[in-house]
Amino acid sequence: MNRVETCEHAGFCFGVERAVALVERLLEELGASDASGSDNKRDAFVRPLYTYGPIIHNEAVVEDFEARGVRILDGPEALKTAVPGTLVIRSHGVSRAEQELMESLGFTVEDATCPFVKAIHRRVQEASEVGRTVFITGDPAHAEVQAIVGWCESRPYVIRNEDDIPDLDPGTPVTVVSQTTFHVNNFKKIVENILKRYYNAFVVNTICNATQIRQQETEELARKADAMIVIGGSKSSNTRKLVEICEANCARTYYVRNFEDLMQQGFQPVRFVGITAGASTPKNIIEEVQNFVRSKF
């Protein structure tokens, strides 16, 4: 009998859901009737509504907000040239310098930084203020990691794998944190090596609990399934980690943004299909993929 099973924790995490809900609320609050009769949604706002970078790493959600008048400002230079309005900080957070710049330029800042990420900001700031060296496990190019770096008082080290561990004095006081969506097993391997090299290391596992559960569920499902479908945005770091987990445990893995991608990749039905999704994947996209797969049986 053919079977389709979706991970229980697939889709929006708490931080993403909170950020999207904030933009939705602001769209309602800031909208105003356009006396000119223009069809341009952006003309209908009393003040411009922006997000600092894409609100989440999902193209469909971002495109929907843009169509409804939300503009993206990507980087300090974009801030300096924009008409001040309401600006939403996305769930990944921003550096302290970026936040201060937003406020100094006259933007009304709405902070949708995930509370778990904000806690990392406070931790690295406090650790660096008392002279501890901060190690951050994660992707140096990821927006969340770049924001965390921006709350350190002294130079931090971003560690993507064991080879990135710096060769400092073994007695260096070190505080270790992690990108919230980092691969759990990679974090454990890196920490094991850090503790071998540094005897004054304090480790805080700041990987989000939802991320850990999602990765564990995905691995368990991938071991049983004949094919795995991973749904998420092309720039989603946590989704790519789910893909890595699936590929390591299931020979037939599809990485898609939506059911159209699955069609283009030539999906063929098998006995047992598993489905998982990144933290920025809306429920309706997951359901569309589920329905498409079931229609193939």
CA distance 41 to 85: 15
CA distance 180 to 116: 8
Which residues is 137 bridged to in the sheet? Answer: 159, 178
pTM (predicted TM-score) = 0.85
Which stretches of 204-265 are assigned E, i.e. beta strand? Answer: 227-231, 253-256
User: Which residue type is seen at 81?
Assistant: T
Tens digit of pLDDT for each residue in 76-120?
999 999 999 999 999 999 999 999 999 999 999 999 999 999 999
Same domain, 45 and 7: no
- Strand, coil or helix: 244: helix
Confirm if 255 and 230 have CB atoms less than 8 A apart.
yes
Spatial strand order of the sheet with 157-159 comes to 157-159, 133-137, 174-178, 201-203
CA distance 238 to 11: 11
Same domain, 50 and 7: no
Same domain, 26 and 105: yes
Same domain, 145 and 86: no
Confirm if 68 and 287 have CB atoms less than 8 A apart.
no
Cα distances from 260 to residues 35, 256, 271, 274, in angstroms, run 39, 8, 21, 18
Sign of CA dihedral 190, 196, 200, 202: positive
Same domain, 40 and 105: yes
Confirm if 90 and 112 have CB atoms less than 8 A apart.
yes
By residue range, what is the domain housing residue 138? 116-203
Residue whose structure tokens are 């564990």:
216
Same domain, 57 and 7: no
Confirm if 275 and 289 have CB atoms less than 8 A apart.
yes
Q: How many domains does the chain have?
A: 3
> So what's the pLDDT on residue 1?
58
Q: Is 287 a catalytic residue?
A: no
Which stretches of 146-296 are assigned E, i.e. beta strand? Answer: 157-159, 174-178, 201-203, 227-231, 253-256, 272-277
Same domain, 220 and 274: yes
Same domain, 214 and 252: yes
CA distance 286 to 8: 12
- Strand, coil or helix: 86: strand
Confirm if 87 and 102 have CB atoms less than 8 A apart.
yes
Same domain, 98 and 123: no
pLDDT tens, the chain, 297 aa long: 589 999 999 999 999 999 999 999 999 998 743 333 344 544 455 689 999 999 998 999 999 999 999 999 999 999 999 999 999 999 999 999 999 999 999 999 999 999 999 999 999 999 999 999 999 999 999 999 999 999 999 999 999 999 999 999 999 999 999 999 999 999 999 999 999 999 999 999 999 999 999 999 999 999 999 999 999 998 888 999 999 999 999 999 999 999 999 999 989 889 999 999 999 999 999 999 999 999 987
| Among 144, 162, 217, 260, the one annotated catalytic | 144
Final residue in a domain of this structure, among 203, 223, 240: 203
Residue of 14, 43, 44 whose CA lies nearest to 29: 44
Question: What number of H helices and E strands is found in the chain?
Answer: 11, 12
Same domain, 106 and 143: no
> So what's the pLDDT on residue 296?
83
The angle at the Cα of 292, spanning 289 to 297, to the nearest 5 degrees, equals 130
Final residue in a domain of this structure, among 113, 144, 162: 113
CA distance 117 to 123: 10
CA distance 202 to 128: 13
Final residue in a domain of this structure, among 113, 141, 172: 113
Same domain, 175 and 242: no
CA distance 279 to 220: 18
Same domain, 139 and 162: yes
Greatest Cα pair distance, the chain, in angstroms, is 68
* CATH code: domain of residue 127: 3.40.1010.20
